């Protein structure tokens, strides 16, 4: 099932990159916990619950950006998938291009659905969280 989770997440990421507004919503468990508490970004650094909470997170995050582009690698970690991200955005209000430091997520799957997501500010921190780097 783990490789299937990787491929399903890849489809969601590609959907996001092509501009879909409901990218990946079909992968979310109704009680999903979306943890952006360590984001250190005013207004979105909290834990969001449920599908509507995840939608609120994306509305709030994406409202600031005219474009969001990234390269990624999806790391299979059993029931978890760790996307390693290299991202840049263009601010909606100023048009300024903003590169982010490389960061990562960890998605936890249960029965083919995402039950938990956590944002990590470093790729090594996310890999350590899934037991792939010590």
* pLDDT tens-digit series, residues 71-82: 999 999 999 999
Bigger pLDDT: 41 vs 53? 53
Of the candidates 86, 36, 27, 87, the one whose C-alpha atom is nearest the C-alpha of residue 60 is 36
Which CATH topology does 2-129 take?
A: Nuclear Transport Factor 2; Chain: A, (3.10.450)
Task: Give the pTM.
Answer: 0.91
Q: Parse the chain into domains and list their residue ranges.
A: 2-129
Which of residues 1 and 32 earns the better pLDDT score?
32
pLDDT score recorded for residue 1:
58
Six token digits for residue 47: 């834990």
Torsion sign (Cα): 12, 64, 83, 26: negative
């Amino acid at each position: 099932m783990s490789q299937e989770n990787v491929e399903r997440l890849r489809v969601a990421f590609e959907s996001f990159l092509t501009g879909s507004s409901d990218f990946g919503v079909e992968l979310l468990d109704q009680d999903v916990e979306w943890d952006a508490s360590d984001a250190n970004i005013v207004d979105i650094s909290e834990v969001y619950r449920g599908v509507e909470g995840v939608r609120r997170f994306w509305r709030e995050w994406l409202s600031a950006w005219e474009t969001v582009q990234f390269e990624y690698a999806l790391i299979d970690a059993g029931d978890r998938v760790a996307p390693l991200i290299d991202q840049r955005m263009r601010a909606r209000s100023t048009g300024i291009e903003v590169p982010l430091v490389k960061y990562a997520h960890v998605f936890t799957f249960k029965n083919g659905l995402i039950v938990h997501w956590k944002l990590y500010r470093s790729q090594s921190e996310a890999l350590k969280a899934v037991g792939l780097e010590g």
